[in-house]
Chains A and B, each alone.
Chain A
Amino acid sequence: MIQDYLILSVILFCLGILGVISRRNVFTVFMSIELMLNAANLAFITFSRVHESMDGHVMAMMIMAVAAAEAALALAVVILLHKHKGKLDTNVFSLLKG
């Protein structure tokens, strides 16, 4: 029972990584990162259920707060980049390329 949840968490995390590597749309990359955070949350909750302690739940709440902060900042950056370049392609946003 517990292993099924952890395997599902691994699968979701790998799908998130695949989304980050294979797509060039900023929004899809961002949402794939959210998917990876969710997979980590699932693993935390599962281990919390195994050990019957509340620490995993608290950690999941922290991850949700970090995800909310990340969403606010990342979407502000996306709006700014879209204003400057008018595109959503991650290859166009190469300001930091050496």
Chain B
Amino acid sequence: MFAEVLFIAFAALSILGAIGLILFRHPMKGAMSLIVTMISLAGLYALLSAELIFVLQLIVYAGAIMSLIIFIIMFLNIQDNDLPIEEGRYLYLAGGIAVIIPIACFMIKVVKSIPAHQATIVGNGFGGVKEVGLVLFQDWLLPFEIVSLLLLVALIGAVVLAGKRRLLK
């Protein structure tokens, strides 16, 4: 019972945050409402007893990535008149909703056809660091190494892109 109440609260918060993201005009307000979504998603992960992902969501997503985005938004010092004039925004939004709703209904129908799962109690170590680490370093070793390469490429790429002007001078 308590879990259902928490689920409804977190789900409502995350949907409200997402709606705020697509409706606020200034990206700073959008970023703030996206942080609300991220934190309530972290709560949902905790409800799904994924401890490691809960912590990672808070630290990496709501902490690192969002603070990077907010840092860049503040760094560019965006005023209200720097923002693009989006006069056709609600028109595009209405058209998008008209296109998306059938797809969403289809996807929800597919989801409903999944056999209902009884809320069983998972084992003691489900979602902990040890269990995830065992799977990560046994079955997923090659993808893990590829991800490390990807992060290296992104690091070099960001340095090359953002430091280009200084090199040219």
Binding site for B on A (CB under 8 A): 1-8, 10-12, 14-19, 21-25, 27-28, 30-32, 34-35, 38, 41-42, 45-46, 48-50, 52-55, 57-58, 60-62, 64-73, 75-80, 82-83, 87-92
A3 near B34 with CB under 8 A, answer no
Min CB distance B40 to A, Å, is 10
How would you classify the secondary structure of chain A's contact residues: helix, strand, loop or mixed? helix
Enumerate chain B residues within 8 angstroms of A76, measured Cβ to Cβ.
Answer: 157-158, 161-162
How would you classify the secondary structure of chain B's contact residues: helix, strand, loop or mixed? helix
Enumerate chain A residues within 8 angstroms of B68, measured Cβ to Cβ.
Answer: 71-72, 75
A2 near B114 with CB under 8 A, answer yes
A88 near B104 with CB under 8 A, answer no
Give the interface size class of chain B.
35 or more
B53 near A2 with CB under 8 A, answer no
Binding site for A on B (CB under 8 A): 7, 11, 14-15, 18-19, 21-22, 24-25, 27, 30-31, 34, 37-38, 41, 44-45, 48-50, 52-53, 56-57, 60-61, 64-65, 68-69, 72-73, 75-76, 78, 82-84, 86, 89-90, 92-93, 95-97, 100, 103-104, 107-108, 111-112, 114, 116-117, 119-120, 122-123, 126-127, 131-132, 134-136, 139-140, 143-144, 147, 150-151, 153-155, 157-158, 161-162, 164-165
Min CB distance A88 to B, Å, is 6
User: A-B pairs with CB below 8 Å: how many?
Assistant: 225
Enumerate chain B residues within 8 angstroms of A89, measured Cβ to Cβ.
Answer: 84
Residue from B48, B61, B135 within 8 A of A46 (CB atoms)? B48
A35 near B34 with CB under 8 A, answer yes
